[in-house]
Structure 1
């Protein structure tokens, strides 16, 4: 896995658990890092991604460092431990024995981490450990699956292999015309939810695999051939479903790019579908008046989505620019992070509010763009 991407994935997990004395990523205080490096047994080559300060006065001479390679800590005089570090592999192996006891975490009968003096509760830290373990298990699984895929191993489960091939196809398709948008990411996450039957570990496997293959230049024909040759996909309904999925993904941002449009024409026959499959999908998604011999104009596709943008802002299509700007500012003010945090809302509600802010920004930008701003 790419090192930067690997570290960023770890940081994103840690950020969900950070608290008063738990510092992550760019929020690591330099003085605490220097003290931890001086007092913890941290090898010079390791990168500190997270730091838990377990000192009452904030010196961070005792505590835990979460690095790219594992956990490294220094206990106070009251907590004995035969070891003060665990690699990620060792943490995975100890998953079943991890338990909380008052102010410390017990990894094994003689391996203890003291958290007294920090704001992190042992039970919360164990929840973080479980999430990290799931991440590393999924990373290992997808590495093994990818290796098997490349070596064309006949022992691979056809169903799992078909999912991996489909992920390759989606990854290549979504990256075909440039960067991946926020809406495309949300769409793909929902797809992986369905593909994994809402299993968090399997979904993580799919996400890791997607990130691994999205920048590869594997020819589309090679991917579709592998999909058609897989025993688990010998059903025309399956390929029709894949083709419909690609159409939805192509239009998720409200416009159909010429690159994706050309690909949809090509992929129709590469997936073994009749010419009518393209014509029917184009009519369904672009309107009954779509001319199958011409390319869609971006504005024609875009206009079909403007109504939903006006609805999101609470405006009518004939609202003036001033009315639209006023509605936009009112919505953004109501969802401002400082205002919501002052109300002490649950984390889930704050996350939902952040998602709404993104949608409102997109709606406003697209409406203004349609008016030639």
Structure 2
């Protein structure tokens, strides 16, 4: 499920969250090169946004949002979740201090993320809402403290 309208909505959502180490629209070439080199993103896929989890901003670890889904890369672990897999997600919520629970056994730890787990949950919920045709709206209710964590989902 990657219609032009959906991808446009996802791009707009990503642009709302653009900040240090979260790139959308114009992604620095160094970051883009590292996403293609270190994640499992095929070169023919369009990268819409990157959440950089690295300390020095290299983009070698984090989340890449592409036209086919979400790619997570942290240390040696690489995970891909397609838009089709995310379409059935009902609620994304923060778990503990450093995790986001996507349901269906997918738990996302966000070590080094430019977003706190609460912000990441809201961000991903907006993306899922757009995927499900429910618009981009999501409640903006709160905490904006910076968080960090790492991914502990399935490969």
> Which TM-score band (shorter chain)?
0.7 to 0.9
TM-score, length of structure 2 as denominator length: 0.74
1:128 alignment partner, SS class: helix
Alpha-carbon shift at residue 49 of structure 1 (Å)? 0.3
CA contact (8 A) 1:21 1:120 kept: no
Deviations 1:331-352 (A, max 9, x none): xxxxxxxxxxxxxxxxxxxxxx
- Max Rg structure: 1
Say whether the 8 Å CA contact 2:2–2:67 is kept in structure 1.
no
The answer for the alignment partner of 1:21 in structure 2 is: 21
Q: Does structure 1 residue 35 correspond to structure 2 residue 34?
A: yes
Q: Which has the higher contact order (CA 8 A, sep 6+)?
A: 2
Query: Per the alignment, in what secondary structure is the counterpart of residue 84 of structure 1?
Result: strand
1-structure distance, mates of 2:125, 2:92? 12
**What is the rounded CA distance, in whole Å, between the counterparts of 2:117 and 2:50 in structure 1?**
15
Larger helix fraction of residues = 1
What 5-or-longer segments of structure 1 have no aligned partner?
139-200, 205-373
After TM superposition, give the deviation of residue 39 of structure 1 in Å: 0.7
Question: Which is strand-richer, 1 or 2?
Answer: 2
Give the structure 1 partner of residue 91 of structure 2. 96
Find the partner of 2:127 among 132, 151, 175: 132
> Which structure 2 residue ranges, 5 or more long, are not aligned?
136-155
Q: Distance in 1 between matches of 2:122 and 2:102?
A: 13
- Checking the alignment, whether the CA contact within 8 Å between 1:75 and 1:114 is kept in structure 2 is no
| TM-score normalised by the chain length of structure 1 | 0.33
Residue 107 of structure 1 corresponds to 102
Q: What CA distance in whole angstroms lies between the structure 2 residues aligned with 1:95 and 1:2?
A: 19
Counterpart of 1:10?
10
Equivalenced residue count is 136
Instruction: Spell out, residue by residue over 1:135-156, the C-alpha distance to the aligned partner (whole angstroms, 9 max, x if none).
Output: 1111xxxxxxxxxxxxxxxxxx
Give the Å deviation of 1:110.
4.9
SS at match of 1:127: helix
